[in-house]
Amino acid sequence: MNTLTSPSRIADLLKQWNITGEHSGVSTGSKWLKGNGKLTVSHSPVDGAEIGAVRGADRTEYDQAVKAAQHAFLEWRNWPAPKRGEVVRQFAEELRKHKPDLGKLVSYEMGKSLQEGMGEVQEMIDICDFAVGLSRQLYGLSMHSERPEHRMYEQWHPIGPVAIITSFNFPVAVWSWNTAIAWVCGDTTVWKPSSKTPLCSLVCQSIAAEVFARNNVPEGVSVLVNGNRDLGEWITHDERIPLVSATGSTNMGRIVGAAVAQRFGRSLLELGGNNAIIISDKADLDIAMHSALFGAVGTAGQRCTSTRRLIIHDSIFADFTKKLSSAYGQLRIGDPLDEMNHVGPLIDKAAVDTYSKALATIKAQGGKFLVEGGVLSGPRYESGCYVKPAIAEVTPDMPIVQEETFAPILYVMRYKGGIMEAIAMQNNVKQGLSSALMTMDLREMERFLSAAGSDCGIANVNIGTSGAEIGGAFGGEKETGGGRESGSDSWKVYMRRQTNTINFGSTVPLAQGIKFDLDSARPL
């Protein structure tokens, strides 16, 4: 494949951060440890070329890195929050400078479109901007005491080193969601990136290190530890880490959540999504079409918010699916760095195998393909990671519909009654991340958003399931894990709450009217 960004050009891009050859993937900030663990070779799904190799941490280096995060926390927590915010502001400025290069690397190493790669870096910038403002708004409440001459209030303190385990599909943005907020809260961070996209993590660490050095930030505030499954187990069982934020599969979340809970730590879990768009007979069908199309095929269906199911009113089902199938016929699949293409590759051949098995399962369970899938071959697809987006008509009771296949497979199904029937179909899966309703009817909209409506953490009207803004809390319910990241008051999970009561009087009255007066007590 003649890619617009070749391995040699990516190598030249990495050299500006001194990332060449076999590089350590273990850093405490400005210091790179040797990397005595497993060697991970990064291959681009765009053309199959080797981009670079990264040495992970062994147990000794992991312990050294966490100790650095612990030690740095003792100083970092005492920096005024606005001063920490100023460091994050400067980090955002560096990201603005490097957005074109980092965006290309994200696109080439992960396989998403160049537009989405640039968008992911912009998301990093946006969350940093949000965090800078937040650094002056870590508010606690003031409460009235029932006791005279007493004052009550609450305040929030940093929690300690925060571990961040991220997935390949957003190799830099999800780290920044957690990191920017954790840093202004006064926490240090320990990042375990996906082994499928390690080079992106090296660049982010290098950019942060430059900013931290200028501001005399203590070594260990930003820790990077590349590694395999063993590293994840060390993190989840490590009592030195009070909070583990993990993004990935539901199965991974079960393991992480149980291990962290066993040691009374906190976990922030962002797990699977099986997201649906309800398309009412009262919908603007142009809006519905555009939303469904991007939601289903954007990032080749590898977003946790990707649209997996369309629940379409029977009266418009035939017409809508015909137009959607026609739109699928116009999709251009190929090099994601070519902005003329709509769909890039899956992350690797293992993902392609999972996709192919899902297609076979759909047929075995009685699904009918409106748009056939399949693996693409030929000179333009030599990496073996390109597949055709597929549409299958199914019924809600098919077991495959309960599963999340991280690939561009869209299930379409009918509903014949009112909006509550459609909502029940939408809610009848184990995951609860993102949902959407296409309607111009106010009553349908309000029912969808009511307590009896969507059971997802994200519920949209007349926009799709994919593409969250950083200002709102991001996360979902049920097997999605219940975690919340990014905006709103998600910052509170990175801190510990403390309730304070101050007595400024000359007596010690007790709450609830309890009397404990020794002067009036009878002698023994």
Catalytic residue among 109, 120, 123, 270: 270
What does the buried/exposed string (b/e) look like for 262-290 if buried means 16 or more CB atoms within 10 Å of the residue's CB?
Answer: eeebbbbbbbbbbbbbbbbbbbebeebbe
User: Which pLDDT score is estimated for 520?
Assistant: 57
Sign of CA dihedral 148, 154, 155, 158: positive
Q: d(Cα 345, Cα 49) in Å, to the nearest integer?
A: 13
User: Which pLDDT score is estimated for 3?
Assistant: 59
Model confidence over 208-245: pLDDT tens digits? 999 999 999 999 999 999 999 999 999 999 999 999 99
Rounded average pLDDT over 363-389: 97
Contact criterion met (CB below 8 Å) for 204 and 172: yes
Model confidence over 192-204: pLDDT tens digits? 999 999 999 999 9
Q: Where residue 1 falls among pLDDT bands split at 50, 70, 90?
A: very low
Q: Do strands 485-486 and 142-144 pair parallel, antiparallel, or not at all (unpaired)?
A: unpaired
DSSP string, 106-162: HHHHH---HHHHHHHHHHHHHHHHHHHHHTT-----EEE-SSTTEEEEEEEEE---E
Q: d(Cα 113, Cα 156) in Å, to the nearest integer?
A: 40
pLDDT over 70 at 86, yes or no? yes
- Location of structure tokens 């003649």: 2
Strand partners, 158: 495
Structure tokens at 232: 């994840």
Longest dimension (CA), the chain: 98
Strand partners, 474: 485
Query: Alpha helices of 306-376 — where are they, by DSSP H?
Result: 314-328, 349-364
Model confidence over 97-124: pLDDT tens digits? 999 999 999 999 999 999 999 999 999 9
Rounded average pLDDT over 134-145: 97
Number of helical H runs and strand E runs in the chain: 13, 25
Q: d(Cα 183, Cα 168) in Å, to the nearest integer?
A: 23
Percent of the chain with pLDDT over 70: 98
pTM, 2 dp: 0.95
- Location of structure tokens 């965006």: 103
Closest CA to 277 of 321, 324, 306, 310: 310
Higher pLDDT, 428 or 8: 428
Q: d(Cα 374, Cα 71) in Å, to the nearest integer?
A: 52
pLDDT over 80 at 357, yes or no? yes
Q: Where are the beta strands (DSSP E) in 46-182?
A: 50-55, 142-144, 150-158, 162-165
pLDDT over 50 at 95, yes or no? yes
Closest CA to 176 of 106, 227, 74: 106
Q: d(Cα 189, Cα 163) in Å, to the nearest integer?
A: 6
Contact criterion met (CB below 8 Å) for 273 and 433: yes
Structure tokens at 202: 């090296």
Q: Where are the beta strands (DSSP E) in 402-517?
A: 409-415, 431-432, 434-438, 458-461, 473-474, 477-478, 485-486, 495-503
Active site residue 304: yes
Catalytic residue among 304, 444, 456, 485: 304
User: Which pLDDT score is estimated for 307?
Assistant: 98
Q: d(Cα 198, Cα 177) in Å, to the nearest integer?
A: 18
Q: d(Cα 189, Cα 280) in Å, to the nearest integer?
A: 45
Q: d(Cα 415, Cα 65) in Å, to the nearest integer?
A: 54
pLDDT over 60 at 51, yes or no? yes
3-state secondary structure of 76: helix
- Location of structure tokens 């320990």: 190
3-state secondary structure of 40: strand
Mean pLDDT of the chain: 96
pLDDT over 90 at 468, yes or no? no
